[in-house]
Amino acid sequence: MKDVYTRDAGVMKALSIPIRLQILDLLSCGEMCASAIQECFSITQPTLSYYMKILVSVGIVEMRNEGKYVFYSLRPEIIRQFLHEIEDMFTEMKTVSAAQFQKCHVWTAFRIQNNICKTKDKRAGSGSQTGPARLLDDESKKINVM
C-alpha cells in the first residue's frame, strides 16, 4: 500500500509545475515531437528534456525514438489509475480494524494533549479552538467520536 502513496506523490510532484500541466494538456491532443513541444512554449531543449524526463519517470508520458527525433505521448491508462486512486483516497469510506481505529485515536489524543493541533479562531474570540483540538472534551478528557 505504501507503494501506491509513493507513486501518487511522485505524480503529484510532477504535476506541481504549471508548464508541465500545460505540456500534458498539449499532449492530450496526441503524440508530439519534442521540437514541436519546445516551440509551443519557447523553452530551451535542455529545459524541455528535464520536464519530459520527470513526466516519463512517473509513468504518465511515454517516449518513443524515431531516428533522430523523440516523440512523446500520454499514457491515459496510468493517468486514469492515478485519478482513480486519488478519488478513492478522498471519497470512499474505509473499513479499518479495531486496532487501526484505536491507533488513530491514540495519535489524535497525543496531538491534542501536546497542543499540536490547537489554533485560534478569530471569529469566536481568543482562546477558542478549531479543527481536531475541538474533539477534546474538557470535562472527561476523552476524545468524542463524531
How many CA atoms within 13 Å lie on the side-chain side of 69? 11
**C-alpha distances out from residue 43 to 46, 73, 127, Å:** 8, 19, 51
**Domain boundaries defined on the chain:** 2-81, 96-146
Matching residue, cell 497542543: 115
pLDDT truncated to tens, each residue of the chain (146 aa)?
558 889 999 999 999 999 999 999 999 999 999 999 999 998 999 999 999 999 999 999 999 999 999 999 999 999 999 999 988 888 766 666 666 666 666 666 666 666 665 444 444 444 444 444 444 444 444 444 44
Residue-level pLDDT at 95: 66
Closest CA to 79 of 143, 135, 145, 24: 24
Q: Report the topology of domain 2-81.
A: Arc Repressor Mutant, subunit A (1.10.10)
Quick one: pLDDT at residue 2? 58
- pLDDT value at residue 90: 80
